[in-house]
Structure 1
Amino acid sequence: MIRIGCSGWNYLHWRGSFYPEKLAMKRWFAFYADHFDSVEINNSFYRLPKPETVDGWRDQAPPGFCYAVKANRYLTQALKLTNCEEPMERMMASFRHFGPTLGPILYQLPPSLTFNLDRLESFLKLQPADIVPVFEFRHRSWYEDATYDLLDRHGASLCVHDMAGSSSPRMVTGRAAYVRFHGCQGKYWGRYAEDNLREWAGWMTDQARQGRAVWAYFNNDINADAIHDALALKYMVG
């Protein structure tokens, strides 16, 4: 299974370049879901969504559609993975409202959080067994075999990403391959070359053949580059 989409769908500057000029915003998600079977929700990083908000996201999803959801920054940025039992329970109580549309949960760690296996392992032990946790590291000190081994033992996935200054190796751990494209010419902008996307398509196909679920999201939202790249990659993987 390979799912390809964008990091969000509700960008005003996509009007005209993706969404028809006269299409009402309340119909944007349905239009997006006509083209993709998954989206990565990022606003949950800034504010934990209310259950009724999640209910709305769940109910608007067509059959087979899945959300990848970014974990709230209180766990990763404020607590930095420590003393997270209660806030984790609170977050999961909200996210459970996604029901069958819930896919992986993405934990984006801050650049200030450097390599600390004990802290990561304690946090991994809090993860629900039925959810695929994904970790996007923003400090290069994490890119060690010990990190990959720990993630693998807990069924957690390394987020493969190309954010300048903290880009990851193309390493797969756990039950799924998870890729974030942040932009090839700068933060959140720049179209990816066709040859580059084609090479990624081959890699993702290989991962799927090995039995892994593959999740890939484009975050280069400027100029709707994310849409064009996601559609191109989706076509390439077939």
Structure 2
Amino acid sequence: MAARTAGKSAATPDESPASAPQPASRRKAGAAGTAGSLIRVGIGGWSYAPWRDNFYPEGLAQSRELEYASRHLTAIEINSTYHGTQKRTSFAKWRDETPDDFMFSVKASRFATNRRVLAEAGDSVARFIDSGIAELGPKLGPLVWQFAPTKQFDAEDFEAFLQLLPDSVEGVKLRHVLEVRHDSFRSPEYLKLARKYQAATVYTDSPKFPSIADLTTDFVYARLMDSSEKLKTGYGPKALDAWAGHAHAWAAGKAPAELEQVEDKPPAARQREVFIFFINGAKERAPAAAQALLARLGWEPREPVPAKKRA
């Protein structure tokens, strides 16, 4: 596990495992490849009973749900890792069931973030990093470190935590995302630390948590939690159009004017990879919301997975 250094770039490796089942060329990307290369849209997890009524084809075996979801979305956030350690063989299996150009983000262990003194999280951080996430190889996207809504910003302790986050593991580069949920993080001092250690800050549309749109590294990570069960796609057409606009702006290196920032500071002019996940709210609507946004970005699946009757 490589040591963390402030300001060090952590780009994803280019090589792909030979065992991946679906060549990238058979998935249709958006205009100029934007949705297929810079903007990724997905959901949290893939095993959720209500999705068997409105997302997965009738009769699809549960063992093939990841195979199907990964061909109708471009990313998935693995949430089970937040609650407990997963097996190395599971990460390898998930890698092999998904297309070459698919990507997973991984939610880090709660035992590392839900503690009074973050500087003491070293063992928990190492246990999570060394659990086998490197098996995802080039399909490993950002790692999401979620903090409790009661966790207030303490600059010294928070920097000590950031120093615990490694740049790589087993030769796989790592990128880190900070989901801070207390208003005390809406400060220039926090943003300075995030930029120093090149960690992204989660943007959320949830009214329960602070929405920080300031860009802190070379990628953007949004977790959308305000979907409505009354809408088939969770979000209405105007809202989805707006999110498509935000995604294009972020990818082009711009800060969407409609999203409030802590600092009135223009971002560096560079392209950014964008991750948008429909996570909470009316969770049963998440796949439809993600697919509707992908359609607006010009991406559509070309290889549906045939249904297979459950045993």
Normalised TM-score (structure 1): 0.92
1:227 and 2:287 equivalent?
A: yes
2:106 — aligned with what?
Answer: 69
1:195 — aligned with what?
Answer: 238
SS in 1 for 2:120: coil
Structure 2's unaligned 5+ residue stretches are 1-37, 168-172, 254-270, 299-311
Provide the C-alpha distance between the structure 1 equivalents of 2:99 and 2:166, rounded to a whole number of angstroms.
25
Shift of 1:80: 5.2
Q: 1:185 to 1:145 in 2, by over 3 A?
A: farther
2:20 — aligned with what?
Answer: none
Task: Give the aligned residue type for 1:124.
Answer: L
CA contact (8 A) 2:233 2:289 kept: no
SS in 2 for 1:179: strand
Shift of 1:221: 6.8
Shift of 1:140: 1.2
Superposed, 1:71-150 pairs within 5 Å as 71-78=108-115, 81-94=118-131, 95-129=133-167, 130-150=173-193
1:180 — aligned with what?
Answer: 223
Q: 1:99 to 1:79 in 2, by over 3 A?
A: farther
Shift of 1:115: 1.2
Superposed, 1:1-20 pairs within 5 Å as 1-20=38-57
Task: Give the aligned residue type for 2:54.
Answer: S
Tell me how large the CA RMSD over aligned residues is.
Answer: 1.9
Q: Which string of whole-angstrom CA distances, capped at 9 and with x for unpartnered residues, describes residues 26-70 of structure 1?
A: 111111111112100111000011212222222222211110000
Q: Which string of whole-angstrom CA distances, capped at 9 and with x for unpartnered residues, describes residues 150-203 of structure 1?
A: 1011110000012332131322211211000112459xx982121112112112
2:272 — aligned with what?
Answer: 212
CA contact (8 A) 1:69 1:106 kept: yes
Q: Which string of whole-angstrom CA distances, capped at 9 and with x for unpartnered residues, describes residues 213-238 of structure 1?
A: 10010013746311111111111122
Q: 1:105 to 1:223 in 2, by over 3 A?
A: closer
Provide the C-alpha distance between the structure 2 equivalents of 1:67 and 1:40, rounded to a whole number of angstroms.
6
**Which residue of 165, 183, 194 maps to 1:151?**
194
Provide the C-alpha distance between the structure 2 equivalents of 1:102 and 1:220, rounded to a whole number of angstroms.
22
Decide which structure has the larger Cα Rg and report it.
2
Task: Give the aligned residue type for 1:233.
Answer: L
1:37 and 2:74 equivalent?
A: yes
Q: Which string of whole-angstrom CA distances, capped at 9 and with x for unpartnered residues, describes residues 4-37 of structure 1?
A: 0001111111112111121111111111111112
Deviates more, 1:215-224 or 1:64-73: 215-224
Q: 1:55 to 1:221 in 2, by over 3 A?
A: farther
1:161 — aligned with what?
Answer: 204
CA contact (8 A) 1:190 1:220 kept: no
Structure 1 ranges of 4+ moved more than 6 A: none
Which is bigger in relative contact order (C-alpha 8 A, separation at least 6)?
2
Task: Give the aligned residue type for 2:135.
Answer: H
Provide the C-alpha distance between the structure 1 equivalents of 2:281 and 2:58, rounded to a whole number of angstroms.
18
How many residues in Structure 1 have an aligned counterpart in Structure 2?
236
Provide the C-alpha distance between the structure 2 equivalents of 1:80 and 1:131, rounded to a whole number of angstroms.
23
Normalised TM-score (structure 2): 0.72
